[in-house]
Amino acid sequence: MPELPEVETIRRRLQCGHQNAPPLQGRTIAACRLPWPGIVQAPSPRSLQRRLRGQAVVDIGRRGKYLQIDLDRACLILHLGMSGSVVIEPSSAAPSPHARLVLQLRGGHRLSFRDPRKFGRAWLLDDPGDLLKRLGPEPLDPHLTAIGFRGQLAGRRAAIKPVLLDQKVIAGIGNIYADESLHRAAIHPLTPADVLGGDRTGRLYRTIRQVLREAIRHCGTSFDYVYGGGEFLSRLRVYRRTGQPCLRCRTKIERVVVAGRGTHFCPCCQTT
DNA sequence: CACGAGACCTGTTCGC
DNA sequence: TGCGAACAGGTCTCGT
């Protein structure tokens, strides 16, 4: 679930408050519970719990698919993996069986990081750059140009689909939005990245930004119980639409496996 | 270095 | 209905 638009939606909900939950900003952490300590990458689980206590939330950011919670004296970084979600809930709510890291807040609410599949991770760092510097550019960064994007693809002979999933190339695109961007750009997912000329990389650059912006506007894509509230599912044109007609040319959407990931495309209007 | 396969996990859905 | 297989939003590590 959590690709850039879903993580951005969660960031905004934490920042502004959502439904009856108050904003996270300004709140102080009373305690941290770790129902599954394996979620903590750094420092040790005990040390993370000790250091979190008493810190206040200053700001909430995002870089690629990473959620960044800036505190008084450190930065808590969460990666939601495949099935993670983060919610603010009343202390009186029944604890989720999939809660992996819980921040109890002074004044009666708690932040719950849930993750059934346990692919999610948490770090408490002095400098978030240590972890995030490996990431490629933000696709919605105003400073990223079509030329800059083309430069990121240089020297890549692999198929464009897995190259888009490489977070060092561009940060935040996952399986859904890679397939959707390639369909809108009319590019076949198996096209080698380095044979795309200026025209087609320019088109792909624009469709990536268009798809991500549109998905953020609709609060991301929700398939099931894991992540709620997103409305982009109904606007997907190829992802999980195998056998259904292409909305552009009516040809049946096909599914193949590319670099281990299910890949959906229109064999008629996406060319190599 | 670039690339692909396998591993890491649990829950749901599909086919027999 | 029951049961195993396939599949799922991601990323790391390893061998080539």
Q: Cα–Cα distance between A200 and A186 in angstroms, integer?
A: 9
Concerning whether A2 is annotated as a catalytic residue, the answer is yes
Torsion, Cα A45 A136 A117 A110, to 10 degrees, reads 50
Concerning whether A3 is annotated as a catalytic residue, the answer is yes
Q: Which nt has its C1' nearest the CA of A222? A: C9
| Chain centroid, CA A154 distance in Å | 24
Q: Quick check: helix, strand or coil at residue A237? A: coil
N residues, chain A:
272
Instruction: With beta carbons less than 8 A apart as the criterion, state whether A248 and A271 touch.
Output: no
Concerning whether A168 is annotated as a catalytic residue, the answer is no
pLDDT in tens, chain A (272 residues): 699 999 999 999 999 999 899 999 999 999 999 999 999 999 999 999 999 999 999 999 999 999 999 999 999 999 999 999 999 999 999 999 999 999 999 999 999 999 999 999 999 999 999 899 999 999 999 999 999 999 999 999 999 999 999 999 999 999 999 999 999 999 999 999 999 999 999 999 999 999 999 999 999 998 776 677 788 999 999 999 999 999 999 999 999 999 999 999 999 999 99
Bases in strand B with any atom closer than 7 Å to a protein CB: 2-13
Instruction: For residue A259, say whether its CB is under 7 Å from any atom of strand B.
Output: yes
Structure tokens at A183: 């369909």
> No. of H helices and E strands in chain A?
7, 11
Tokens 């190339």, located at residue: A169
Which pLDDT score, from 0 to 100, does residue A223 have? 78
CA to C1' distance (Å), from A171 to B13: 31
For A129-153, the three-class secondary structure string (H helix, E strand, C coil) is: HHHHCCCCCCCCCCCCCHHHHHHHH
Contacts of A232 (CB under 8 A, 6+ apart): A5, A214, A215, A218, A219, A220, A221
